[in-house]
Amino acid sequence: MQYEMALHPMDMKLYRDKFSTPAMREIWSEESIIQARLEVEATLAEVQAELGMIPKEAAVEIRKKATLEYVTPERYAELYAYKGHDIVALVWALNEVCEGGLGEYVHWRSTTQDILWTSTATLYKKTVQVLLNDLRELEEVMLGLMEKHKFTIMAGRTHGQHCPPITFGWYIGVIAYAIRRHIERLKECSKRLLVGKITSAVGTGSSYGPPELALKLQEKVCEKLGLGVPPITESEIVRDRVAEFVNVCSLIATTLEKLARDIWTLQRPEIAELEEPFRTGEQVGSSTLAHKRNPFGCEWVQGVAKLIRANAYPINELFVFDVRDGVRLAVEYVGVPSCAMMTSAIIQSMKKILSGLTVRPENMRRNMYVQKGLFMDEPVMLALAEKIGRQSAHDLIYDITMKAFAEDKSLKEALMENETVMKYLTEEQIDELIDPEKYLGTIPHQVEATLEAIRSAREKDF
């Protein structure tokens, strides 16, 4: 049995599920790309027959033969190597399998970009649907975490330093609502991305006959393929549509990278608030240090996110070339499928991580007090501000907390040693003010509002 060597780590059985998903691999497989091009040629012929532009028997024969059973990837590749033009090779391959000379009507009055763009748009349509499904699955897991951990208290952090408390459910809600915005961006982007182009060589439609006929042809072909109809095109579809799509992928990747980085940080043993799934008894973290439970999942998400953005960058450079400039082909042929496949992969990876995430509330609470309660100085300062003024209260609490930090004292101890504080506050009032459970503000309301907003939006997704 001959083994076909993988040419890239993305193709290796060892790694491919980390770079792509089965659904995306199917969409962007060689066979799927060829079949999409054949489908456009067949649909074009059918509509041309309906409009009296070619014989009906030609459309029937072209439709029958426009499959991989007749136009094989091997023959297509042979003709491409000979002709040096992929759509010319496709036309030849389809022409030669059509009987009775009816293959002469393949690609009738058409041009490369009519087939190339329109077929790719059908692949984008499937791709967007997969990504929307992926994001909704991830969103559903996040909704569960928000509900479960609405009141799971943890330290707020800015600049890596402790602040007044938040809850883990609230933190997840912030990310979940970003995911919802990405879903909306993807749906909105689709309105501009999922359009066809049947307007001939320079975009005027002139080769298809009278304007009324040419316009009707494009409308009916796009309708059959489930694509929108742009009001104007050049020789090819302007690439801001593609750039917008890959930039949405980049935004999704960046959000997931941020989440992965946060989990990675909070899994550090000295923090130990979160831990990505680890299959004890099966999974191994190190080839030599047997105790390690390395967060490979979060690390891989972060690495792949950087690759997504890197693939998106050159696609943003494709606006400055001449019309029908072939420079973009190499960039898009690699960049767009790569962005799509890797985005799907890290969404699925993050779904698995969050589905099996270990949350340690006891460590979250413990870590809040590593500085002996200094994180709760704000409510005390605000209470004193009512008595002595805001800036004076801030200066006073600053001196107290810096002294407490230097002397390794708790916030309560330091407050009760200060005469000015004790002049205005009792011990019971101090205890009330420094209780983190009573300083969550609108967190529960924000979590509920976000849950409601996301669920309402989910009902309108499809």
pLDDT per position as a tens digit, 191-221 = 999 999 999 988 999 999 999 999 999 999 9
DSSP secondary structure string for all residues of 73-133 = HHHHHHHHHHHS-HHHHHHHHHHHHSSTTGGGGTTTT--HHHHHHHHHHHHHHHHHHHHHH
Top pLDDT among 379 and 234 is at 379
136 token code pair: 């909704």
42 token code pair: 């067949």
In the residue annotation, 159 being an active-site residue is answered as yes
Q: Are residues 267 and 338 in the same domain?
A: yes
Q: Is 74 exposed, middle or buried (0-12, 13-18, 19+ CB in 10 A)?
A: exposed
What pLDDT, on the 0 to 100 scale, is given for residue 5?
Answer: 64
In a domain, 1, yes or no: no
In a domain, 450, yes or no: no
The CA distance from 65 to 59, in Å, is 10
Give residues with Cβ within 8 angstroms of 353, minimum separation 6: 260, 263, 276, 277, 297, 298, 301
Q: Are residues 334 and 263 in the same domain?
A: yes
Domain termination residue (choose one: 108, 140, 160) = 108
Q: Are residues 264 and 412 in the same domain?
A: no
Beta carbons of 260 and 350 less than 8 angstroms apart: yes
Three-state secondary structure call for residue 156? strand
Q: Are residues 260 and 310 in the same domain?
A: yes
Strand partners, 153: 167
- What CATH number did the domain enclosing 384 receive? 1.10.40.30
**Angle, vertex CA 309, rays to CA 305 and CA 310, nearest 5:** 110
Q: Are residues 315 and 409 in the same domain?
A: no
Three-state secondary structure call for residue 165? strand
Cα→Cα distances 371→192, 406, 407, 411, Å = 53, 11, 11, 8
What secondary structure letter does DSSP report for 29? S
DSSP secondary structure string for all residues of 200-228 = -TTSS-GGGSSHHHHHHHHHHHHHHHT-B
Q: Are residues 310 and 356 in the same domain?
A: yes
Q: Is 153 exposed, middle or buried (0-12, 13-18, 19+ CB in 10 A)?
A: buried
Using CA atoms in the order 440, 441, 442, 447, what is the torsion angle rounded to 10 degrees?
Answer: -10
Q: Are residues 303 and 343 in the same domain?
A: yes
Residue 1: which pLDDT band, with cuts at 50, 70 and 90? very low
Condensed to tens digits (0 to 9), the pLDDT of residues 62-108 reads 999 999 999 999 999 999 999 999 999 999 999 999 999 999 999 99
Condensed to tens digits (0 to 9), the pLDDT of residues 255-302 reads 999 999 999 999 999 999 999 998 888 888 888 988 989 999 999 999
Three-state secondary structure call for residue 273? coil
Q: Are residues 248 and 357 in the same domain?
A: yes
Beta carbons of 461 and 182 less than 8 angstroms apart: no
Estimate to the nearest angstrom the gap between the alpha carbon of 377 and the chain centroid: 39
Q: Are residues 123 and 243 in the same domain?
A: yes
The CA distance from 145 to 125, in Å, is 31
pLDDT-above-70 percentage for the chain: 97
Residue 4: which pLDDT band, with cuts at 50, 70 and 90? low
Domain termination residue (choose one: 61, 79, 108) = 108
How much is the CA Rg of the chain, to the nearest whole Å?
A: 30
- What CATH number did the domain enclosing 95 receive? 1.10.275.10
Q: Is 180 exposed, middle or buried (0-12, 13-18, 19+ CB in 10 A)?
A: buried
What pLDDT, on the 0 to 100 scale, is given for residue 178?
Answer: 98
Give me the chain's average pLDDT, please. Answer: 95
In a domain, 154, yes or no: yes
In a domain, 130, yes or no: yes
Q: Are residues 352 and 265 in the same domain?
A: yes
369 token code pair: 């007090």
What pLDDT, on the 0 to 100 scale, is given for residue 123?
Answer: 98
DSSP secondary structure string for all residues of 343-411 = HHHHHHHHHHHHHT-EE-HHHHHHHHTTTTTGGGHHHHHHHHHHHH-HHHHHHHHHHHHHHHHHHT--H
Residue 42: which pLDDT band, with cuts at 50, 70 and 90? very high
In a domain, 10, yes or no: no
Q: Are residues 187 and 43 in the same domain?
A: no
In the residue annotation, 355 being an active-site residue is answered as no
Report CA torsion sign: 235, 241, 247, 249.
Answer: negative
Q: Are residues 304 and 344 in the same domain?
A: yes
Q: What is the mean pLDDT of residues 224-234?
A: 94
Domain termination residue (choose one: 60, 75, 108) = 108
Identified catalytic residue from 8, 29, 85, 286: 286
In a domain, 12, yes or no: no
Residue 51 has pLDDT above 80, yes or no: yes
Residue 3 has pLDDT above 60, yes or no: no
Residue 35 has pLDDT above 80, yes or no: yes
Condensed to tens digits (0 to 9), the pLDDT of residues 325-367 reads 778 888 899 999 999 999 999 999 999 999 999 999 999 999 9
The total number of structural domains that make up the chain = 3
Report CA torsion sign: 188, 354, 255, 293.
Answer: negative
Domain of 145, in residue numbers: 113-195+236-277+295-367
- What CATH number did the domain enclosing 325 receive? 1.20.200.10
For residue 157, the surrounding DSSP H or E stretch is strand 153-158
170 token code pair: 């609230």
In a domain, 420, yes or no: yes
The CA distance from 348 to 343, in Å, is 9
Top pLDDT among 27 and 329 is at 27
Identified catalytic residue from 159, 287, 291, 456: 159
The CA distance from 4 to 6, in Å, is 7
In a domain, 452, yes or no: no
